[in-house]
């Protein structure tokens, strides 16, 4: 079953109280056993925009849906032409202070797990371990026919060979790893098929809008939240249900929900505390106050 994509959310009612004081977060994380749920806002300081912030890409860009991708070769051509450029920018991105702080908190024993909605791999690059990639990762490619998994670097080399004259450029990267390209440029782009089965459709190993997160992965996240002492949300508007459901689950179980994000979130009414600070600043302060500053 496929769900209707949720791209936007309109806040209603009075905003929940917000603070710039990290004391409650420091106390909760200091007790240990906290699970992190991170979103695109954590990676903006690495040069990857979010979807819904002040400069969010949804203001100018409609992301590819699963239905559009599987439904037409034209849709796939548009995705891969744009992603062929955008992925290189994602691959060049480096962890920022927020990613390094999460890794330091985990290494110090304060975190029991990290769940990320991001597909950029920056948590792992910063040193975080056993990260649950809720929406998958752009550095892997799967064949929709034979299910063979391969490295994105391998596909990148094949696409370069198939498109030797492809010299398009774009300065605007999107969170899903693609860029904006003119239609005439897209039309000239050549696709490649799976090398294993010879004809299979290749798709990045990420959950597109309108596609369901694998059930086993969802259960893994629920289990992590059940075992946690608190849930710490970092840089997510929680617009889509894939992340919001864990906030609701934690709150229903009576666990503290700590949200650090610039701007309102769909989970604010479930939060024990809402901190409105830039992520790099807030998480660096958190590590310092807990005695595990980032090197």
Hey, which residues are catalytic here?
135
Q: Name the CA radius of gyration of the chain, rounded.
A: 19
* Rounded Cα distance, 9 and 105, in Å: 31
* Rounded Cα distance, 250 and 240, in Å: 16
* Rounded Cα distance, 153 and 91, in Å: 10
Binding residues for Zn(2+), as ranges, are 143, 146, 194, 197
β-strands 202-206, 149-151 pairing: unpaired
| Count of other CB atoms within 10 angstroms of residue 20 | 9
Find, among 122, 148, 142, 144, the residue nearest to 133 by Cα: 122
Helix/strand/coil for 179: strand
């Amino acid at each position: 079953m496929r769900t209707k994509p949720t791209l936007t959310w309109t806040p209603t009612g009075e905003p929940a109280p917000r603070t710039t004081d990290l004391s409650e977060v420091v106390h909760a994380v200091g007790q240990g056993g906290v699970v992190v749920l991170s979103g695109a806002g954590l990676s903006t300081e690495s040069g990857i925009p979010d979807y819904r912030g002040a400069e969010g890409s949804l203001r100018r860009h409609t992301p590819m849906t699963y239905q559009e991708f599987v439904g037409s070769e034209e849709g796939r051509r548009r995705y891969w032409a744009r992603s062929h450029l955008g992925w290189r920018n994602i691959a060049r991105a480096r962890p920022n202070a927020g990613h390094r702080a999460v890794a330091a908190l985990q290494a110090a024993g304060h975190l029991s797990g990290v769940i990320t909605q991001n597909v950029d791999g920056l948590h792992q690059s910063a040193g975080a371990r056993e990260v649950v990639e809720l929406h998958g990762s752009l550095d892997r490619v799967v064949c929709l026919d034979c299910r063979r998994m391969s490295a994105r670097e391998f596909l990148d080399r094949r696409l370069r060979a198939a498109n030797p004259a492809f010299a398009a450029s774009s300065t605007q990267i999107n969170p899903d790893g693609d860029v904006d390209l003119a239609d005439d440029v897209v039309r000239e782009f050549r696709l490649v098929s799976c090398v294993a089965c010879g004809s299979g459709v290749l798709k990045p190993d990420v959950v597109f809008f309108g596609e369901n997160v694998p059930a086993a992965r969802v259960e893994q996240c629920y289990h992590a939240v059940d075992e946690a002492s608190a849930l710490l949300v970092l840089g997510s508007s929680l617009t889509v249900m894939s992340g919001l459901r864990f906030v609701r689950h934690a709150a229903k179980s009576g666990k503290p929900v700590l949200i650090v994000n610039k701007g309102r979130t769909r989970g604010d009414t479930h939060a024990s505390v809402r901190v409105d600070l830039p992520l790099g600043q807030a998480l660096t302060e958190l590590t310092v106050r807990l005695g595990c500053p980032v090197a």
